[in-house]
């Protein structure tokens, strides 16, 4: 029997949930509050578990047509940029596909949005939830444009400041600022960049290929607060954050000249570690329930995996609440590892905790992400 699902939020998690649910036979409507459906155009790292998930969603070829695939990660340390190690991760999508990929967020949205629509999902922009009433048998929703509809369940994929979370779990933990910002800027692809190049302290930064002609540079800085950054002067501000950069980074830092090209965001996090992830027929997904810092590059990956698992459990269980409980149980250990260890890396960079073995943590994380979801 077909069931109707409302997804609140048209980001990475919401779109992948729509595709996964349609593949399981559910009727899906997405509402997205931003009428422009805007996404900033810098890159995002997608690791091996995401490439595998794209194959499960049936979008891998379209995805890789807009991405840059690679297998290797190379780590450089200190102001001299000495090479510490290089390693490859397994090709989880099959030997004919890369292990990892970099892609512009705008391109990722096109791939997922096109796939969601092609699968039969409806996407409505500039619309939010006005009221939700869960009577145990379904959820009556009135939208901000005055329309009303009844759904079998509602998925809150509306980000770290989720209004859905606030509506169903008003006492749940609130997002908190970690003490760091992440800065990103697109640049022409460096010849010979064959994967992620990570530079560790005192300038914590990296280079990631995202197409055949582009890469992006990211760097992490410690900041006293999470105030708004004006566009004017943003390029100079980003360059100034690179304290004692490795020589390999210096020419790329000098090329950061366009203020409008800088995307700088405070790193904020939230994790419902001791709270339910659903109330009745309303469930949370992605950053709405476990927003992590970017240090393990798995925030989007965890949302994408959430979508696959949630769709599987809703198809397997007749009762939505049983599906939601099974979904949380399957996802909990993986997202807890990502959220808490990403924070540990940031805390170590800021000197809040003693140094620890990043290599051992990386190996543990790769092993976990290579396992089944």
**Peptide bond between residue 202 and the one before it cis (omega within 30 degrees of 0):** yes
pLDDT above 70 coverage of the chain, percent: 99
Q: How far apart are CA 184 and CA 210, in angstroms?
A: 13
Q: In sequence order, which residues have a C-beta less than 8 Å from that of residue 257 and are 6 or more positions away? A: 235
Asked if residues 221 and 255 have their Cβ atoms less than 8 Å apart, the reply is no
Question: What's the pLDDT at 276?
Answer: 97
Q: What is the mean pLDDT of residues 271-293?
A: 98
Tokens coding 44: 């995002």
Model confidence pLDDT, tens digit, residues 303-353 = 999 999 999 999 999 999 999 999 999 999 999 999 999 999 999 999 999
In the predicted model, what is the mean pLDDT of the chain? Answer: 96
Q: How far apart are CA 167 and CA 270, in angstroms?
A: 16
Helices (H) and strands (E) in the chain, counts: 11, 20
Domains and CATH numbers, the chain: 4-42+105-175+270-370 (3.50.50.60)
Q: How far apart are CA 103 and CA 291, in angstroms?
A: 20
**Pairing label, strands 82-88, 72-77:** antiparallel
Q: How far apart are CA 321 and CA 326, in angstroms?
A: 9
Model confidence pLDDT, tens digit, residues 347-372 = 999 999 999 999 899 999 999 999 99
Q: In sequence order, which residues have a C-beta less than 8 Å from that of residue 339 and are 6 or more positions away? A: 269, 271, 273, 290, 291, 292
pTM: 0.96
pLDDT above 90 coverage of the chain, percent: 97
Residue matched to tokens 């302290």:
201
Q: Is the pLDDT of residue 288 over 90?
A: yes
Q: How far apart are CA 157 and CA 19, in angstroms?
A: 14
Q: How far apart are CA 53 and CA 301, in angstroms?
A: 9
Q: How far apart are CA 341 and CA 369, in angstroms?
A: 14
* CA dist 339 → 46, 227, 302 (Å): 16, 23, 10
Q: How far apart are CA 23 and CA 320, in angstroms?
A: 17
Q: What is the mean pLDDT of residues 221-236?
A: 94
149: nearest Cα among 6, 314, 318, 25 = 6
Q: How far apart are CA 368 and CA 373, in angstroms?
A: 9
Question: What's the pLDDT at 201?
Answer: 86
Strand partners, 322: none
């Amino acid at each position: 029997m077909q069931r109707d699902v409302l997804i609140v939020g048209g980001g990475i998690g919401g779109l992948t949930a729509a595709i996964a649910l349609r593949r399981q036979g559910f009727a899906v409507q997405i509402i997205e509050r931003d009428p422009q459906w805007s996404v900033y155009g810098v890159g995002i790292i997608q690791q091996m578990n995401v490439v595998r998930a794209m194959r499960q969603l049936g979008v891998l070829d379209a995805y890789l047509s807009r991405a840059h695939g690679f297998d290797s990660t190379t780590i450089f340390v200190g102001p001299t940029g000495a090479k510490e190690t290089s390693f490859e991760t397994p090709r989880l999508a099959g030997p004919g596909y890369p292990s990892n990929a970099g892609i512009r967020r705008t391109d990722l949205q096109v791939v997922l949005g096109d796939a969601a629509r092609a699968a039969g999902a409806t996407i409505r922009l500039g619309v939010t939830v006005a009221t939700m009433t869960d009577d145990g048998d379904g959820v009556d929703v009135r939208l901000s444009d005055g329309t009303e509809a009844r759904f079998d369940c509602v998925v809150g994929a509306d980000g770290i400041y989720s209004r859905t979370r606030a509506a169903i779990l008003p006492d749940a933990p609130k997002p908190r600022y970690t003490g760091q910002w992440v800065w990103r800027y697109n640049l022409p692809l460096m010849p010979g960049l064959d994967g992620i190049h990570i530079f560790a302290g005192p300038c914590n930064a990296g280079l990631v290929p995202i197409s055949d002609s582009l890469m992006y540079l990211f760097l992490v800085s410690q900041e006293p607060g999470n105030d708004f950054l004006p566009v004017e002067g943003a390029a100079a501000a980003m360059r100034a954050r690179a304290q004692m950069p490795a020589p390999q980074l210096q020419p790329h830092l000098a090329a950061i000249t366009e203020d409008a090209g800088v995307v700088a965001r405070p790193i904020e996090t939230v994790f419902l570690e001791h709270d339910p992830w659903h109330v009745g027929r309303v469930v949370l997904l992605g950053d709405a329930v476990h927003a992590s810092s970017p240090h393990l590059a798995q925030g989007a990956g965890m949302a994408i995996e959430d979508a696959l698992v949630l769709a599987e459990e809703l198809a397997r269980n007749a009762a939505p609440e049983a599906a939601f409980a099974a979904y949380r149980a399957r996802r909990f250990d993986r997202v807890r590892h990502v959220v808490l260890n990403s924070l540990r890396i940031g805390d170590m960079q800021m000197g809040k905790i003693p140094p620890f073995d990043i290599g051992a943590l990386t190996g543990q994380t790769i092993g976990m992400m290579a396992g089944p979801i």
